[in-house]
Amino acid sequence: MNDRLKETPSQTAGPYVHIGTAPQAIGRPALPHQPGPVIESNTGEAIVIEGLIRDGSGTPVRDAMLEIWQADGMGRVGEYGLFARATTDFDTGIFRFQTVRPGQHAEGHAPHVAMLIFARGINIHLHTRMYFPEDRETLTKDPDMRRLEPEAVATLVAAEDGKTEDGLPLYRFDIRLQGENETVFFDI
Amino acid sequence: MTTAFYRRDRSQQPLPLSPGYKSTVLRAPVRPLHALEQTVLEQTGPALGHTPLGPLDHDLIRNAATTGDALGERIYVFGRVLDENARPVPNALIEVWQANAAGRYAHVRDGYLAPLDPNFSGCGRCLSDAEGRYLFRTIKPGPYPWPNNGSDWRPAHIHLSVFGEAFSQRLITQLYFEGDPLIPLCPIVNTIPDKDAVDRLVARLDLRNQEPFDCLAYRFDIVLRGRRQTHFENRTEGL
């Protein structure tokens, strides 16, 4: 144990995170192979996730960067796992991902999208999950959810929000950093 | 097969709520984090470090140059990416961003009066090699003022975003430079309560690795979370 190294401390990504991670957000071309907000995969049904991050006063966070990591449509992770990155809009605060509906990657665990949030004022990234409203009934049996109050679980469930202009199922997932209906953040 | 990572040692990390850094006051969660066992989802991650990068991606002095090299103190930043077990992490993707030598970011939202450098974008990236070694070349960024408690000043720093081999290892941080008197005065640095942990964010001058008559060198090692030893490998999931 004593010869273990200590993890490098995190520091905030700050308000200029776009320069290094999402240059397209500030009018520059993305670098080749740099992850963006759209996942192309033929393993499942294409869906869109949209949402807003609000701070403790209810104000939208307009300078955040988010990353998602999930199983593919067949429930496979590892080399088949799907990753994307988005930033919140400078005016509206809306973030938007296009991905595929994840399959179940572990026995008894409801399908979900893992999500990290980086921003000014967030000293170490926040880790949350988005679950699907179709699974609301079985979610209470999920081993990761059973120690949470129902109101807390509810902060992790997206809402069906119709279809996008391209006809894709649209899910709305709002995140509350602090205060009433504060989103559950994990230590995993 | 995948094995679990050690739980994150939060004593080495910044406090989420640090009132000296005002932006944390409305953005830090109040409820405690909810601890979960990892699944294979968190124990694996995107293979972003397996795609070759452009030849100038690691060279911020040249990668946005139009009329000549970027202005400023020419430096290498180099080191190793290791895990908590002191094993090298190969194929780590390190994305960096920074202000120019005058302390100005090439970003639409930065209104600091210091000038932009037309030959510098402040964006770069590199991969660690089989021994975990990485290197980029840049100019030393300048300190700059920011509105926090009146005009606070950030020490010179470079932002680093690191992907190891698993989602659990994800890290974004900032490196500082040895000898900078602004480090102990910075409210963002001081979100980290452990002084030894702060010290591990300070890159060290390494004269022996300079490029003579060209470029100074600073050494900065990065440590990502490590996996539990293999004798835990066959324990039952979910216990």
Residue B107 a catalytic site member: no
- Are A124 and A10 in contact by the 8 Å Cβ rule? The answer is yes
Looking at beta carbons, which residues of chain B come within 8 Å of A188? 35-38, 42, 168
Q: What is the pLDDT of residues B37-56, one digit of tens each?
A: 999 999 999 999 999 999 99
Which chain B residue's Cα is nearest to A1? Answer: B85
Look at residue A107 in the predicted model and tell me its pLDDT: 87
**Full-model pTM:** 0.96
Which positions 36-95 of B are in contact with A (Cβ < 8 Å)? Answer: 36-42, 44-48, 51, 53-54, 57, 82-86, 95
CA-closest candidate to residue A115, choices A123, A107, A105, A126 = A126
Cα B175 to chain centroid distance, Å, stands at 6
DSSP chain A: -TTPPPPPPP----TTTHHHH-GGGGTSPPPTT---SB---SSS-EEEEEEEEE-TTSPBP-S-EEEEEE--TTS--GGG-EEEEEE--TTT-EEEEEEE-----STTPPPEEEEEEE-TT-SS-EEEEEE-GGGHHHHTT-TTTTTS-HHHHHTTB-EEEEE-TTS-EEEE--EE-SSTTPPP-EE-
**3-state SS class at B125:** strand
Question: Which pairing describes strands A169-172 and A46-54: parallel, antiparallel, or unpaired?
Answer: parallel
Q: Residue B47: how many CB atoms within 10 A of its CB?
A: 15
Cα A19 to chain centroid distance, Å, stands at 21
Q: Which two tokens stand for residue A32?
A: 């080749």
Q: Above 0.95 for ipTM, yes or no?
A: yes
* B159/A14 CB distance under 8 A: yes
- Strands (E) in chain B, as ranges, are 34-35, 74-83, 93-98, 123-127, 133-139, 144-148, 150-154, 157-163, 171-177, 202-205, 216-219, 222-224
Residue B134 a catalytic site member: no
pLDDT band at B238 (very low <50, low <70, confident <90, very high): very low
pLDDT at position B237 over 60? no
Q: What is the pLDDT of residues B102-119, one digit of tens each?
A: 999 999 999 999 999 999
- Are A86 and A118 in contact by the 8 Å Cβ rule? The answer is no
Q: What is the pLDDT of residues B67-104, one digit of tens each?
A: 999 999 999 999 999 999 999 999 999 999 999 999 99
Q: What is the pLDDT of residues B208-227, one digit of tens each?
A: 999 999 999 999 999 999 99
To test the contact with chain A by mutation, choose from B8, B24, B146, B172 the residue with the greatest count of A C-beta atoms within 10 A, namely B172
Looking at beta carbons, which residues of chain B come within 8 Å of A8? 171, 173, 200-201, 222-224
Look at residue B239 in the predicted model and tell me its pLDDT: 40
Q: What is the pLDDT of residues A109-153, one digit of tens each?
A: 999 999 999 999 999 999 999 999 999 888 988 999 989 999 999
Residue B154 a catalytic site member: yes
Spatial distance between the Cα atoms of A91 and B196, rounded to a whole number of angstroms: 40
More reliable by pLDDT, B1 or B160: B160
Q: What is the pLDDT of residues A74-83, one digit of tens each?
A: 999 999 999 9
Report the DSSP beta bridge partners of residue A82.
A70
Which chain B residue's Cα is nearest to A15? Answer: B109
Average pLDDT, whole number, for chain B? 95
Spatial distance between the Cα atoms of A185 and A116, rounded to a whole number of angstroms: 9
B105 near A CB under 8 A: yes
